[in-house]
Structure formats: C-alpha cells, structure tokens
C-alpha cells in the first residue's frame, strides 16, 4: 500500500510539536495586502492548521485545506470545524478543479519530486481566479536536501525555474518575500 502522505502521517505528532510560528506574519501580511477580507484562501499542505491557517482565520479569512496525511487533516478539521478540508494528495486535489482568489503552499512544493513540481505549480496557477494571488515558499537557490522528519529528499528548482514555470502558465511572478527565519516566498498574480 502506497503512503499518499509521503511519510508525513507517520511523523504527524513530531511535526505538530516542532512547528513554529516562523512565517506567520509574512503570510498573513501578504493576504491582507492582496486578498479581500472574508475570502477563502486555499492552503495546500495545510497540516494541522497551525500557525498559518490559524493566523489567516484570525484575520477574518476562510481557509480550505488540503493535506494527504490523515492525522494532520483530522487535526485541521477539529481546529476549524466550519472550514473545508480534503485529505488527499495535492497533486490530484479536487479543490484545484475550481478557482480561488488566493492559494498558498507553505513548506510544501519542495517536498515533491523535482519532476512533479512544475505540474503542481501549473495546476495551482490554473486554479487562480482572474487577479488571484499565489504564494509558495521555496528556497531561491537550486538545491537538494533530506527532510529532517521524514528522511525523504526535498528539492528546490531555484528562483529562475519557478518564475519561468509560472510565466509559462500565464501567471506573473511579482516579488520574493522573506521571513524572520530566512525562508523565501514567491508571490505571483494571475491576470485580471
């Protein structure tokens, strides 16, 4: 049997215990600048909803979550009983079959195989409403490393590759943001 969570369900408790608040202000600030109050933001790889989804909910947004780890998706559902959650792989998520004003993928894209990342990024780009915004966290440098929790390989394609994929998808990379932990976020906008 294949683990569609890529090992994350097995380390869910450790992930919850270790997840810090780093990046929360960067993501919530981005949302306040670009997403209408009360709108629903799709959170791909939402985990248990802390701290990112919680910060967005605290700012008045609704959050729809996607996570393939059953224990993390269940924790999200308990935390936000009025929000939508799908326990399924992001690559085939039904949430990406409709349009959204905002999509975030924080700490997710680089967990996919390098060959899967362009398709995932294109799928997110196609799921944006006209004028919608996408925020993904990825290292700007092309690099490969082992995830400390799952032991699986993680990879960044690098800033130029991510920007080119988005441009080819009809979405304009706008700028790179940073947070207090040194993480990089690519902000992109769909045409109006």
User: How far are the Cα atoms of 27, 54, 163 from residue 157, in angstroms, in the given order?
Assistant: 22, 29, 10
How much is the pLDDT for 37? 93
Q: Are 129 and 69 in contact (CB under 8 A)?
A: no
Which of 142, 145, 123 lies closest to 134 in space, CA to CA?
123
- Is residue 78 very low, low, confident or very high in pLDDT (cuts 50, 70, 90)? very high
DSSP string for 65-76? EE-S-HHHHHHH
How much is the pLDDT for 27? 97
For the entire predicted model, the pTM comes to 0.93
- Residue with the bigger pLDDT between 2 and 82: it is 82
How much is the pLDDT for 128? 98
The residue extents of the domains of the chain are 12-189
Please tell me the distance from the alpha carbon of residue 74 to that of residue 48, in angstroms, as a whole number.
Answer: 8
How much is the pLDDT for 9? 67
Torsion, Cα of 118, 124, 129, 130 (10° steps):
-20
How much is the pLDDT for 149? 78
3-59, pLDDT tens digit by residue?
Answer: 666 666 665 566 556 676 889 999 999 999 999 999 999 999 999 999 999 999 999
User: How many other CB atoms are there within 10 angstroms of residue 84's CB atom?
Assistant: 15
Domain covering 12-189 in this structure, CATH number: 3.40.50.150
DSSP string for 134-173? EEEE--SS-EEEE-TTT--EEEE--HHHHHHHHHHTT-EE
How much is the pLDDT for 151? 77
Which of 62, 23, 72, 60 lies closest to 41 in space, CA to CA?
62
Q: Where is 12: in which H helix or E strand?
A: helix 12-18
142-179, pLDDT tens digit by residue?
Answer: 999 998 877 789 999 999 999 999 999 999 999 999 99
Indicate the DSSP class of residue 106.
Answer: S
87-126, pLDDT tens digit by residue?
Answer: 999 999 999 999 999 999 999 999 999 999 999 999 999 9
pLDDT at position 138 over 70 = yes
């Amino acid at each position: 049997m294949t683990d569609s969570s890529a090992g994350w369900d097995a380390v869910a408790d450790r992930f919850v215990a270790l997840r810090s608040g780093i990046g929360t202000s960067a993501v919530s600030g981005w949302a306040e600048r670009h997403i209408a109050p009360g709108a629903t933001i799709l959170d791909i790889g939402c985990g248990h909803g802390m701290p990112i989804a919680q910060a967005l909910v605290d700012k008045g947004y609704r959050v729809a979550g996607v996570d393939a780890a059953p224990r993390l998706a269940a924790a999200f559902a308990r935390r936000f009983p009025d929000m939508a959650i799908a326990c399924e792989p992001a690559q085939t998520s039904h949430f990406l079959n409709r349009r959204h004003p905002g999509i975030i993928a924080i700490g997710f894209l680089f967990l996919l195989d390098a060959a899967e990342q362009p398709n995932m990024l294109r799928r997110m780009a196609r799921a944006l409403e006209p004028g919608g915004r996408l925020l993904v966290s990825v290292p700007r440098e092309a690099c490969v490393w082992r995830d400390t929790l799952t032991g699986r390989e993680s990879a960044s394609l690098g800033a130029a590759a991510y920007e080119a994929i988005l441009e080819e998808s009809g979405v304009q990379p706008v700028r790179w943001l940073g947070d207090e932990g040194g993480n990089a976020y690519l902000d992109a906008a769909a045409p109006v």
